[in-house]
Structure 1
Amino acid sequence: MKVLKFGGTSVANPENINRVKAIVQKENDKKIALVVSAFGGITDLLLQTSQLASNQNLAYKEVLTEIENKHIAVVKDLIPVQIQSTVLSKVKSDLNVLETLLEGAFLIGELTPKLSDKIVSYGELLSSFIISEFFKSERLDAVFKDSRALITTDETYGKANVNFKVTNKNCQDYFKTNTYQINILPGFVAASSNGDSTTLGRGGSDYTAAIIAAAVGAEILEIWTDVSGMYTANPKLVKQAKCVSHISYEEAMELSHFGAKVLYPPTIQPVLNKEIPIVIKNTFKPEDPGTLITKNNNKQGKTVRGISHVGNISLLSLEGPGMIGIPGISKRFFETLSLEGISVVLITQASSEHSICVGISDDDVDSAVNALNEAFAYEIESRKIKPIIVEKDLTIVALVGDNMKSHQGLSGKMFSTLGKNNVNIRAIAQGASERNISAVIKKTDVKKALNSLHEEFFEENIKQLNLFVMGVGNVGSKFLNQIGKQTKYLKEELKLNVRVIGISNSRTMTFNENGISLSDWETELANGEKADKEVFFNTVNALNYRNSVFVDNTASEAVAESYTKYLKNSISVVTCNKIACSSDYEYYKELKQLAKKYNAPFLFETNVGAGLPIIDTLKHLIASGDKINKIQAVLSGSLNFVFNNFNDTVTFHDIVKQAQEEGYTEPDPTIDLSGIDVMRKILILTRESGHQLDIQQIENDAFLPKESLETNSNDSFFASLKKHESSFQELYKNANDVESKLKYVAQFENGKAKVGLQQIPKGHDFYNLEGSDNIVLFYTERYPNQPMIIKGAGAGAEVTASGIFADIIRIGNF
């Protein structure tokens, strides 16, 4: 004999009920006990209407009408017209009784637990009756059997305790003599010894099926629901979660206790001792294998089998010096909670006996606090113990697995993973069986915590990076295109799953929690909402993804000033914007400190030399114990491009215009030609070398006329270049006359930095620097005479984008 249970979503409407029939028909005349839940949503409506009635709110009648209409619609859809009247008559009769019960609650203005059980039981009673009549009309060998005639409980209404001795005999006697192939029973409902309706608690339909399966020694218990088994994590929160094909009873109990909604926690207990297998199946994908639950045969399997969570938790802490060495404190504490009917989900106690901390449901906090403060009133008044301390809005996350006790370091791995993602742990608990490690965290961190842990324990070391990109002009668009082209390579070769979640330009912004399509991001952005830097940050922060990275491709001072907010929320920052690192030294220092404190990398390789590994090389030199004595560099790709192409046959104006059009200069070319950009770059290198310097301390030997420097628009700037063409030609002639080339050089030595145009003679390392290339000479204690040289393309959208890309990969490898 098999026992099959179908949940509320499986019988939510006529279409789904037909799916159930198709599944049952494939059992080939095997005897079946078919336990069904109320139609989808009906139990909630019954609770709603009963609450409204007890509050003497006439709106309860509207909800009752909705309940009636739903059931009648199912009957009319499923039952042939010629026999509808009989079925409708019974359904309406039951609904009339339900109406009478609700009227009683309305008149007395009260809803007792006993009356509540009677009301909510009608969900399962009606669904099972209608389904049984439908099966009969389809010529299936089916019969309805009221579970209240089989399952006997005490009178603990709302969550009754089963009398297994009586229940087992009832079930055995019934199924021994019953000849029908399909016995359809309402889940969730039972009856006390004196015949009053009771219920087994929310999710009790699973329990009903398990009770019957254990009583009759069924060959298997099948739980049919709307997912294909028990998953490594909640698939609604963790997209990469996988179905677990086979787990033990104990693992299933742990997972179900900690929020795995596909199985009601008490379900396993009745079948465990008899070793009856349980299988979780998907009504909507019956071909999926599902999850098989048996006694442990996973001796050599995965250590962690699942990651689960239970929400709406509060921590209560009792603490004070008056607890130390005093026997009976714990007994009084837990006895007080027990007398209030409050279930404790998690317990932790300091070894000093200075405090006891427990996790309970948010719903029980007020009654628990009042009872405990009263129980310890004397100690609180005498200041031996503090009043109960409450922390709300928490969630428990738990690692579960039979084999966890055989492996060292799991706790450290779990807590390290959470810590890296700035998930603060409020309390920790681990059972003596070591089958479960639990941590209490803020509920706002649940999604990030589950995804981080799942990535660590289940995803074969594939790390997901979630990017939020601001600025998609020349550099930003190239960067997105490079990411799109390399997605497959990154995943297969570097084990990095890089997703772009948010994009913004100066006009619009867009977000997609599943990742923006990099083949069509322009369309998504064009159809986005109005751009707003504050809203952008708030959205990034609210999404609270693990491994979040803010990518700044702008030259905006306002954006640079926002980095602290990102870093303080453990959001990494990658930027080609030089303003932050070349601003006030204290701000630069703060950003570096925040990156360390919140474990959020702050990378800016492209601030100097675009895609060249200049800053990275400098960091390695310093980290290895070397010391920078002197830096000489040509750091402006745009200025190098300009002076490499400027001569007596072309105008300075035309060359600068060409540099702007080809993307070598900033949108405002005075930033490059005034030397400000080079000053920022040498300042950053100086600071990264370990020296404290501000930009005002850098000497700037400007070559532009004062009039050009003081222009306030690109048009007036270019007009001034034409006006002063003769002075630019004179600069060229003077250098050419001594067989030298003009290079804009940055230098740092003896604690001082300067930038300016220089005549570079033949034989110098800078002389043959072509195009827009950059070059840096590092003179160090290890390289005192022959410097370490880094040379290559130092400007252009493609190479700058590749530098940003390289920083993203560095974060992925952290």
Structure 2
Amino acid sequence: MKVLKFGGTSVGSIESLRNVKAIVESIDGQAIVVVSALGGLTDRLIAAAKAAADNNLSYLDDVKSMTQRHIDIIDNVVDESRRNEVKERVLALLSDLKRMYDGVYLIRHLPQMTLDIIVSFGERMSSIIVAAMIKDATRHDSLNFVKTEKWYDKSIADQKLTTELIKREFFTPFVKAIVPGFISTDKRTGDITNLGRGGSDFTAALIAAAVDAEVLEIWTDVDGFLSADPRVINDAVLVSHMSFIESMELCSYGAKVIYPPTIYPVFHKNIPIKILNTFNASAPGTLITDSPLPDDLPIKGISILKETTLFLLGGNLTRGVKNSVSRTFNALAKKGVKVFNVTRSDGKSGLSFAVASSDADTTFDLICREFAPELSDGIIALPERIDNLATIAVVGDNMRANHRTGARIRSTLTRNGLAISAFSEGASDTTMLYMIAAADANSALRQIHTLLF
């Protein structure tokens, strides 16, 4: 059995939805199809909710626009025999959505619980449309079987319970099952929640792992993983195969092909992932598996994590602060802040690490709170912070032993006048990192790509 996931661009237009129909109906046998909201709709739902909370009546125009978009799509992709039924169901949801916005407008307040309900409408409507347009398809509501629990201030998937419920949901025979991605319910309260950014990918991975799928196919708007962002590198090459770890690293450092947590459930089951193009279905795509293949490229790709902030925690760390590294990383992990170790190029001693700039203020506050006694006693100094950086990740096989490549990269960047603020070589089997000024990121990417490809 295959599990397929179609993202927003794949279900965002009449043309793309017809491609989805052809792809799914060409599958011989059972398939589970996870769909996102229509392309751009989630952002529109959020923007309208914020407008209502600001007592701005523009949300009414948004509702009208969303309504017309869904009606137009239904008229063009759903068979005439089912069209009225589908319109009725979608219009009922849009009516509920408008009542939610009206309530937000009246109280001038947008609680998180209300926003979670509002953004759920996108996948609820798209899955109804897709289920109606595909032959022998039935809709299965993920609100019934994708369950979350609270972890600090976030909702995270309860994978054990979700797996049990998925197995129960798909135990009875079906041909093509259509599932809304992203959305879920709290296992204790039943309130609508969601799996966060990239949640539809994660929904598909949870289902694939639970049903022991033969493959998880992620259908998107690119031919697969490329060696670099094609918007910056015109001659970026398609990477036909990479490992689970390599794909996770590329996406963790800026590649937008797949949401990194997606990979964990299928990785543990050794279920292959294929990245395929809804708009170019004949393209071979990228295969992601556990083991290398004989013709694998040594370097799989280069990605950029823009808006990165570098921190240095200096002072007498060895004598004055016990387990300073674990204290730092544990304090940040509890708030969901991803941290990566780097070495300062200027040779300054201390604990150097970097985070996404969106987490920089939180990071500074957490470090000051964690080390308040040591800061007060003067054992350590206030964390030094450098903003407006970008992190370039070079990902490939056995990078830990690839000292010559690291030296060549640093030499190339320096020779071309690009200052490296910090780097990491040898800390990972798959990834080398280079932090430079954000304004120089694209130039550095071009130079490294020319060097390695």
Q: Same fold (TM over 0.5)?
A: yes
Residue aligning to 2:40? 41
Q: What does the per-residue CA deviation read over 1:295-341, in whole Å, with 9 as the maximum and x for residues that have no partner?
A: 1224674332111121121223222x3434221433443344345x2
Residue aligning to 1:14? 14
Q: Secondary structure at the match of 1:235?
A: coil
**Aligned counterparts of 1:203 and 1:227: Cα–Cα separation in 2:** 16
Q: For 1:86-165, what aligned pairs fall within 5 Å after superposition?
A: 86-135=85-134, 140-155=135-150, 160-165=155-160
The offset of 1:9, in angstroms, is 0.7
Q: For 1:720-759, what aligned pairs fall within 5 Å after superposition?
A: none
Q: For 1:521-560, what aligned pairs fall within 5 Å after superposition?
A: none
* 1:323 pairs with 2:323: no
Residue aligning to 1:269? 264
Q: For 1:675-714, what aligned pairs fall within 5 Å after superposition?
A: none
Q: For 1:563-602, what aligned pairs fall within 5 Å after superposition?
A: none
Counterpart AA for 2:5: K
**Number of corresponding residues:** 450
Residue aligning to 2:55? 56
Residue aligning to 2:166? 171
Q: For 1:309-320, what aligned pairs fall within 5 Å after superposition?
A: 309-319=304-314
* 1:191 pairs with 2:190: no
Q: Secondary structure at the match of 1:160?
A: strand
**Aligned counterparts of 2:195 and 2:268: Cα–Cα separation in 1:** 20
CA contact (8 A) 1:49 1:63 kept: yes
Q: What does the per-residue CA deviation read over 1:160-196, in whole Å, with 9 as the maximum and x for residues that have no partner?
A: 322222222222222221x331101111111221322
Counterpart AA for 1:87: V
CA contact (8 A) 2:344 2:421 kept: no
Q: Which has the higher contact order (CA 8 A, sep 6+)?
A: 2
Q: Secondary structure at the match of 1:305?
A: strand
The offset of 1:422, in angstroms, is 1.8
Q: What does the per-residue CA deviation read over 1:395-433, in whole Å, with 9 as the maximum and x for residues that have no partner?
A: 111111123234341210121122122221111124644
**Aligned counterparts of 2:406 and 2:341: Cα–Cα separation in 1:** 17
The offset of 1:81, in angstroms, is 4.5
CA contact (8 A) 1:281 1:290 kept: yes
The offset of 1:232, in angstroms, is 1.0
The offset of 1:270, in angstroms, is 0.6
* 1:222 pairs with 2:221: no
Residue aligning to 1:420? 415
CA contact (8 A) 1:312 1:393 kept: yes
Residue aligning to 1:731? none
- Aligned in 2, Cα 1:265/1:159: closer, same or farther, shift over 3 Å? farther
Residue aligning to 1:291? 286
- Aligned in 2, Cα 1:334/1:54: closer, same or farther, shift over 3 Å? farther
The offset of 1:157, in angstroms, is 9.8
The offset of 1:208, in angstroms, is 0.9
Q: What does the per-residue CA deviation read over 1:178-228, in whole Å, with 9 as the maximum and x for residues that have no partner?
A: x33110111111122132212111111111111111100111111111000
Q: For 1:235-274, what aligned pairs fall within 5 Å after superposition?
A: 235-274=230-269
**Aligned counterparts of 2:437 and 2:137: Cα–Cα separation in 1:** 50
**Aligned counterparts of 1:157 and 1:236: Cα–Cα separation in 2:** 38
- Aligned in 2, Cα 1:56/1:371: closer, same or farther, shift over 3 Å? farther
**Aligned counterparts of 1:337 and 1:360: Cα–Cα separation in 2:** 10
- Aligned in 2, Cα 1:342/1:430: closer, same or farther, shift over 3 Å? farther
Residue aligning to 1:747? none
CA contact (8 A) 1:323 1:353 kept: no
- Aligned in 2, Cα 1:145/1:156: closer, same or farther, shift over 3 Å? farther
Q: For 1:327-342, what aligned pairs fall within 5 Å after superposition?
A: 327-339=322-334, 341-342=335-336
- Aligned in 2, Cα 1:60/1:430: closer, same or farther, shift over 3 Å? farther
Gaps of 5+ in 2: none
**Aligned counterparts of 1:386 and 1:61: Cα–Cα separation in 2:** 53
**Aligned counterparts of 1:87 and 1:344: Cα–Cα separation in 2:** 43
- Aligned in 2, Cα 1:293/1:432: closer, same or farther, shift over 3 Å? same
The offset of 1:274, in angstroms, is 1.5
**Aligned counterparts of 1:443 and 1:350: Cα–Cα separation in 2:** 17
- Aligned in 2, Cα 1:60/1:363: closer, same or farther, shift over 3 Å? farther
**Aligned counterparts of 2:294 and 2:397: Cα–Cα separation in 1:** 8
* 1:307 pairs with 2:307: no
**Aligned counterparts of 1:158 and 1:85: Cα–Cα separation in 2:** 42
- Aligned in 2, Cα 1:59/1:368: closer, same or farther, shift over 3 Å? farther
Counterpart AA for 2:116: D
Residue aligning to 1:449? 444
- Aligned in 2, Cα 1:281/1:345: closer, same or farther, shift over 3 Å? same
Counterpart AA for 1:344: K
Residue aligning to 1:677? none
The offset of 1:366, in angstroms, is 2.5
The offset of 1:375, in angstroms, is 4.2
Residue aligning to 1:713? none
Residue aligning to 1:697? none
Residue aligning to 1:646? none
- Aligned in 2, Cα 1:186/1:406: closer, same or farther, shift over 3 Å? same
Residue aligning to 1:201? 196
**Aligned counterparts of 1:167 and 1:294: Cα–Cα separation in 2:** 24
**Aligned counterparts of 1:132 and 1:59: Cα–Cα separation in 2:** 31
**Aligned counterparts of 2:370 and 2:247: Cα–Cα separation in 1:** 37
The offset of 1:82, in angstroms, is 5.0
Q: For 1:662-677, what aligned pairs fall within 5 Å after superposition?
A: none
Residue aligning to 1:182? 176
Q: Percent identity among equivalent residues?
A: 37
**Aligned counterparts of 1:91 and 1:378: Cα–Cα separation in 2:** 58
CA contact (8 A) 1:206 1:267 kept: yes
Q: What does the per-residue CA deviation read over 1:617-653, in whole Å, with 9 as the maximum and x for residues that have no partner?
A: xxxxxxxxxxxxxxxxxxxxxxxxxxxxxxxxxxxxx
**Aligned counterparts of 1:280 and 1:399: Cα–Cα separation in 2:** 20
Q: Secondary structure at the match of 1:98?
A: helix
Residue aligning to 1:401? 396
Residue aligning to 2:338? 344
Counterpart AA for 2:367: L
CA contact (8 A) 2:303 2:392 kept: yes
- Aligned in 2, Cα 1:337/1:110: closer, same or farther, shift over 3 Å? farther
Q: For 1:335-414, what aligned pairs fall within 5 Å after superposition?
A: 335-339=330-334, 341-348=335-342, 354-414=349-409
Q: What does the per-residue CA deviation read over 1:455-499, in whole Å, with 9 as the maximum and x for residues that have no partner?
A: 1111xxxxxxxxxxxxxxxxxxxxxxxxxxxxxxxxxxxxxxxxx
The offset of 1:254, in angstroms, is 1.0
Q: Secondary structure at the match of 2:299?
A: coil
* 1:210 pairs with 2:209: no
- Aligned in 2, Cα 1:366/1:64: closer, same or farther, shift over 3 Å? farther
The offset of 1:83, in angstroms, is 3.6
Counterpart AA for 1:387: L
Counterpart AA for 2:98: E
Q: What does the per-residue CA deviation read over 1:259-279, in whole Å, with 9 as the maximum and x for residues that have no partner?
A: 121111011111112211111
Counterpart AA for 2:68: N
CA contact (8 A) 2:224 2:257 kept: yes
**Aligned counterparts of 2:53 and 2:153: Cα–Cα separation in 1:** 17
**Aligned counterparts of 1:431 and 1:40: Cα–Cα separation in 2:** 40
Residue aligning to 1:70? 69
